[in-house]
A and B are shown apart, each in its own frame.
Chain A
Amino acid sequence: MSILIKKPDDIKPSEITDQKVYEGRREFIKKMGLASTALLGAGQLSLAEAKAYPNLTKSQFSTTTDKLTSLKDITSYNNFYEFGTGKSDPAKNAGDFNPKPWSVRVEGECEKQGDFHLEDLIKPHTLEERIYRFRCVEGWSMVIPWVGVPLADMIKRFKPTSKAKFVEFETLYDPERMPGQRIKTLPWPYIDGLRMDEAMNPLTLMAVGLYGDELPNQNGAPIRLVVPWKYGFKNIKSIVKIRFVEKQARSTWHEVNDREYGFYSNVNPEVDHPRWSQKTERRIGEPFWAPKHKTLKFNGYEEQVAHLYKGMDLKKFY
Chain B
Amino acid sequence: MNTATRFSGVMPFMNLIQFLKPMVFLLCLLPLLLVVWNGINNNLGVNPAETILDTMGNWGIYFLLITLSVTPVRKITGWGGVIRLRRMFGLFAFFYVCLHLLSYIWFDQYFDWNEILNDIIKRPFITLGFVTFLLLVPLVITSTNKMMLRLKKNWKKLHFLVYPIAVFATIHFLLMTRADFGHPLLIAGILSLLLGYRLYFSMQRKRSN
Within 8 A of A (CB), among B177-193: 178-180
A288 touches B119 (CB 8 A): no
With A277-B115, A284-B47: A85-B180 Cβ-Cβ less than 8 Å: yes
Interface string of B58-93 (1 = CB under 8 A from A): 000000000000000000000000000000000000
With A185-B180, A288-B52: A77-B175 Cβ-Cβ less than 8 Å: no
The answer to whether the Cβ of A275 comes within 8 Å of any Cβ in the partner chain is yes
Q: Which residues of B sit under 8 angstroms from A185, Cβ to Cβ?
A: 179-180
**A292, closest chain B residue (CB):** B110
A81 touches B45 (CB 8 A): no
A88 touches B45 (CB 8 A): yes
Q: Which residues of B sit under 8 angstroms from A153, Cβ to Cβ?
A: none
Q: Which residues of B sit under 8 angstroms from A73, Cβ to Cβ?
A: 46
The answer to whether the Cβ of A175 comes within 8 Å of any Cβ in the partner chain is no
In the complex, what distance in Å separates the CA atom of A272 from the CA atom of B126?
A: 14
Interface string of A73-102 (1 = CB under 8 A from B): 100110001000111100000000000000
Least Cβ–Cβ distance between B81 and chain A, in angstroms: 39
A288 touches B46 (CB 8 A): no
Chain B interface residue count: which class? Answer: 20 to 34
The answer to whether the Cβ of B173 comes within 8 Å of any Cβ in the partner chain is no
A275 touches B175 (CB 8 A): yes
In the complex, what distance in Å separates the CA atom of A274 from the CA atom of B108?
A: 16
Interface string of B159-180 (1 = CB under 8 A from A): 0000000000000000110111
Within 8 A of B (CB), among A275-289: 275-277, 279-280, 282, 284-285, 288-289
Q: Which residues of A contact B (CB under 8 A)?
A: 73, 76-77, 81, 85-88, 138, 140, 185-186, 272, 274-277, 279-280, 282, 284-285, 288-289, 291-292
**A272, closest chain B residue (CB):** B122
Q: Give the number of residue pairs across the A-B interface with Cβ within 8 Å.
A: 51
Some 6 contacts from A to B, beta carbons below 8 A apart, are A85-B179, A88-B46, A140-B47, A185-B180, A275-B176, A285-B46
B47 touches A77 (CB 8 A): yes
Q: Which residues of A sit under 8 angstroms from B115, Cβ to Cβ?
A: 277, 279
Q: Which residues of A sit under 8 angstroms from B176, Cβ to Cβ?
A: 275
With A277-B118, A288-B52, A289-B107: A138-B178 Cβ-Cβ less than 8 Å: yes
Interface string of B21-47 (1 = CB under 8 A from A): 000000000000000000000001111
B49 touches A282 (CB 8 A): yes
With A85-B180, A186-B179, A276-B123: A284-B46 Cβ-Cβ less than 8 Å: yes
The answer to whether the Cβ of B7 comes within 8 Å of any Cβ in the partner chain is no
The answer to whether the Cβ of B94 comes within 8 Å of any Cβ in the partner chain is no
In the complex, what distance in Å separates the CA atom of A76 from the CA atom of B47?
A: 10
Q: Which residues of B sit under 8 angstroms from A291, Cβ to Cβ?
A: 110
The answer to whether the Cβ of B125 comes within 8 Å of any Cβ in the partner chain is yes
Of the residues B44, B46, B106, B175, contact of A87 by C-beta under 8 Å: B46
Least Cβ–Cβ distance between A278 and chain B, in angstroms: 12
Q: Which residues of B sit under 8 angstroms from A76, Cβ to Cβ?
A: 46
In the complex, what distance in Å separates the CA atom of A114 from the CA atom of B176?
A: 43
**A78, closest chain B residue (CB):** B46
B110 touches A77 (CB 8 A): no
In the complex, what distance in Å separates the CA atom of A11 from the CA atom of B47?
A: 31
Least Cβ–Cβ distance between B45 and chain A, in angstroms: 7
Q: Which residues of A sit under 8 angstroms from B118, Cβ to Cβ?
A: 277
Least Cβ–Cβ distance between A258 and chain B, in angstroms: 15
In the complex, what distance in Å separates the CA atom of A150 from the CA atom of B50?
A: 34
Q: Which of A87, A284, A288 has the most CB of B within 10 A?
A: A288
A288 touches B179 (CB 8 A): no
B110 touches A86 (CB 8 A): no
Least Cβ–Cβ distance between A271 and chain B, in angstroms: 13
Q: Which residues of B sit under 8 angstroms from A85, Cβ to Cβ?
A: 179-180
